[in-house]
């Protein structure tokens, strides 16, 4: 299933992602694609709010991964941009994907070989006259994510 929705500012993106954060379960995998400045980290901040995480969520660009353990579920926030050249074979990312938390991955295309078979893929594109808005194109892969996307879509429409 594919679902598209647009946001007009940062707060709308936070609210959109927060609703997803309220629906996710352990071992869910959310992949975020989009250029620098598209809103991947902003989206992750909103998702963290939905998990009840009160710690400040910072971009993990230089650390590759940051873990937040004080919410309803652990959040594993990865930015694998720097693994494009280094490779991810020895990173042990499976431990996170198949762990007890929710994995959110920025630039997942750089670790395509390491990804689990099922996930929710969120593509973020700048849109609008001043490229102020963001178009979210969200695709589910696998039954779990079809259900998750269906539920998220419903909460956005109500």
Which residues would be at the binding site for Mg ion (CB under 5 A)? 40-41, 59
| Binding characters for ligand ADP, 45-84, by CB under 6 A (x = yes) | ----------------------------------------
Smallest separation, CB 147 to ligand ADP (Å): 26
140 binds ligand ADP (CB under 6 A): no
Interacting partner of 127 out of ligand ADP, Mg ion, none (Cβ under 5 to 8 A depending on kind): none
Residue 95: half-sphere exposure toward Cβ, Cα within 13 Å: 7
Q: Are 101 and 14 in contact (CB under 8 A)?
A: no
Q: Which of 4, 9, 55, 69 binds ligand ADP (CB under 6 A)?
A: 9
Distance CA 45, CA 53 (A): 9
Give burial (CB, 10 Å; 0-12/13-18/19+) of 24.
buried
Q: b/e string for 106-132 if b means 16 or more Cβ within 10 A? A: bbbebbeebbeeebbbbbbbeeeeeee
C-beta closer to Mg ion: residue 12 or 146: 12
Q: Which residues make up the interface to ligand ADP (CB under 6 A)? A: 7-10, 12-13, 34, 36-42, 106, 132-134
């Amino acid at each position: 299933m594919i679902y598209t929705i647009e946001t007009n500012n940062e707060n709308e993106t936070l609210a959109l992602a927060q609703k997803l954060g309220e629906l996710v379960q352990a071992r869910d995998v959310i992949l975020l694609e989009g250029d620098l400045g598209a809103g991947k980290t902003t989206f992750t901040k909103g998702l963290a709010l939905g998990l009840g995480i009160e710690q400040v969520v910072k971009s993990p660009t230089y650390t590759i991964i940051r873990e937040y353990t004080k919410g309803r579920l652990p959040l594993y926030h990865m930015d694998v941009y720097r693994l494009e050249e280094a490779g991810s074979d020895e990173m042990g990312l499976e431990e996170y994907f198949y762990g007890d938390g929710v994995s959110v991955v920025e630039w997942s295309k750089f670790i395509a070989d390491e990804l689990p078979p099922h996930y929710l893929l969120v593509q973020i594109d700048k849109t609008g006259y001043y490229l102020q808005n963001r178009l979210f194109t969200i695709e589910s892969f696998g039954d779990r994510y079809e259900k998750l996307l269906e539920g998220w879509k419903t909460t956005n429409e109500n």
